[in-house]
Structure 1
């Protein structure tokens, strides 16, 4: 039995890009909050790496899903051809 599905709930977008940290332009603010700014930037770059890994994983999952659907669709086409003969 072949089941066709037009939805993508199983692979719904779960990768959320990180929000860039606010970086002040005022030199006094930079000096006053240097430790916090450094931590925020490091956290941001860590989250960027995590985001890219998530996108890579989703791409692999969607690619595999497309491969399976392609095979299923080929079988549907074969059934249609054999039915019309």
Structure 2
């Protein structure tokens, strides 16, 4: 029983290590009135370009997190298989 608890503790501890750190960017305000578009054209352009750059960074972050979690899942799977083998050997 102690071995089973040790395996559960070790396997569940790792889940706390991964937290979502990728935050999606807030979309910029886009006016629908033609006068507002003309009045704020430079600001709208800067905001849109910054937003698209932030979206690109967000997707890169998600891709990196996916790779990290995939690797962690592989390691946990291998560790779990070893733990199961150990438990089967002690029955």
Match of 1:14?
Answer: 21
Q: Matched residues in 2 for 1:9 and 1:80: separation?
A: 25
Q: Could you report, residue by residue, the CA deviation over 1:23-63 in whole angstroms, capped at 9, with x for unpaired residues?
A: 00010000000000000000000000000000000000000
What is the aligned counterpart of 1:32 among 31, 34, 39?
A: 39
Q: Indicate whether 1:62 and 2:61 are aligned.
A: no
Measured on the aligned residues, the alpha-carbon RMSD in Å equals 1.5
Return 5+ residue gaps in structure 1 as ranges.
none
Select the structure that is richer in helix.
Answer: 2
Structure 2 gap segments, 5+ residues each: 1-5
Structure 1 Cα separation of the partners of residues 90 and 63 of structure 2: 40
Q: Distance in 1 between matches of 2:73 and 2:33?
A: 50
**How many residues are aligned here?**
84
Aligned counterpart, 1:73: 80
Give the Cα–Cα distance (whole angstroms) in 1 for the partners of residues 14 and 79 of structure 2.
15
TM-score (norm: length of structure 1): 0.91
